[in-house]
């Protein structure tokens, strides 16, 4: 599980990355498509292949420092979606135009998606401990394994809890709750508990265990609600006893 200290460290890194991207946006602002055409330094001697250091030497120095800082603090699993670092390295006018008009807008959106996904991962870390244990897999985007591991643990918990064997999970749930091998803490909800767990195992567990997660579903947004359902099923088993 990703502990609180690691989570806090990543949050600080996200904040720092955002700050640096904002500073880069300010530094590259003269090369905005709407501003560069009429900029005083965009005279007949300047073309796309001109080094920015010849036009704005101080900005280049600052940009290089920001680049170094950025590469040192960016989270290890953050994936760049633009040519930002490459364009900073090349350093020509058309590179800085790309930085301001295309790279930075792309990375701001990319960072926003990363922050949102990280928030979901933090939420998973607060679910039932058996489900929270798959957080490292989510952090490395191994969603298929995370789902499989969580629902296999749920099946193991069910079999250990009931002590019943040679049954499909759905049949096992029906037998356990119909014959009160397992009794839910609120007996007025015994049937509802049975029906919910039958759905979890029959609809979700069976599909996840027996099918490979499709590329279209290889995302945290697909994985997260299933892990929440799995977590609720674990809690129900926790509140069920012989």
Domain ranges of the chain: 4-124, 131-241
pLDDT band at residue 219 using 50, 70 and 90 as cut-offs: confident
CA-to-CA distance for 88 and 197, rounded, in angstroms?
Answer: 55
Give buried/exposed letters for 61-81 (b at 16+ CB in 10 A, else e).
Answer: eebeebbeebeebbbeebeee
Q: Average pLDDT for residues 203-225, to the nearest whole number?
A: 79
pLDDT of residue 212 exceeding 70:
no
78, 91, 92, 61: which is closest to 18 by C-alpha?
Answer: 78
Render pLDDT for 10-53 as a digit per residue (tens, 0 to 9). Answer: 999 999 999 999 999 999 999 998 887 767 777 667 888 999 99
Q: What's the CA gap between 96 and 106, in Å, rounded? A: 14
pLDDT at 211 over 80: no
E-strand spans in 48-187?
Answer: 183-184
Q: What pLDDT is attached to residue 187?
A: 94
Sign of the torsion angle spanned by Cα atoms 46, 52, 56, 57: negative
* pLDDT reported for residue 223: 92
Say whether pLDDT at 218 is over 80.
Answer: no
Query: Residue range 120-143: average pLDDT?
Result: 93
Q: Evaluate if residue 198 carries a pLDDT over 60.
A: yes
What number is the average pLDDT over the span 82-102? 96
**79/212: higher pLDDT:** 79
At 86, is the pLDDT very low, low, confident or very high (cuts 50, 70, 90)? very high
Residue 113: exposure state from Cβ atoms within 10 A (0-12, 13-18, ≥19): exposed
Confidence (pLDDT) at 36: 76
Supply the pTM of this predicted model.
Answer: 0.81
Q: What is the DSSP secondary-structure string of 161-174?
A: HH---S--HHHHHH
Report whether 241 contacts 182 (CB < 8 A).
Answer: yes
Q: Can you give the pLDDT at residue 237?
A: 97
């Amino acid at each position: 599980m990703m502990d609180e200290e690691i989570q806090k460290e990543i949050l600080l890194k996200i904040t720092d990355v955002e700050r640096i991207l904002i500073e880069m946006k300010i530094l590259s602002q003269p090369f905005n498509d709407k501003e560069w055409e009429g900029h005083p330094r965009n005279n007949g001697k300047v073309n796309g292949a001109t080094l920015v250091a010849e036009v704005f030497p101080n900005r280049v120095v600052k940009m290089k420092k920001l680049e170094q800082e950025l590469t040192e603090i960016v989270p290890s699993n953050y994936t760049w979606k633009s040519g930002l670092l490459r364009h900073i390295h090349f350093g020509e006018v058309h590179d800085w135009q790309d930085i301001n008009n295309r790279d930075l807008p792309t990375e701001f959106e990319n960072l926003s998606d990363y922050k949102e996904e990280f928030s979901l991962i933090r939420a998973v870390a607060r679910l039932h401990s058996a489900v929270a244990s798959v957080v490292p897999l989510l952090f490395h985007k191994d969603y298929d394994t995370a789902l499989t591991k969580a629902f296999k643990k749920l099946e193991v918990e069910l079999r250990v809890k009931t002590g019943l064997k040679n049954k499909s999970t759905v049949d096992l749930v029906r037998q356990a709750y119909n014959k009160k091998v397992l009794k839910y803490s609120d007996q007025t909800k015994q049937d509802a508990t049975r029906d919910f767990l039958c759905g979890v195992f029959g609809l979700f567990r069976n599909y996840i265990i027996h099918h490979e997660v499709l590329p279209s579903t290889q995302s945290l947004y697909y994985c997260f609600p299933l892990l929440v359902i799995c977590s609720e099923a674990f809690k129900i088993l926790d509140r069920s006893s012989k």
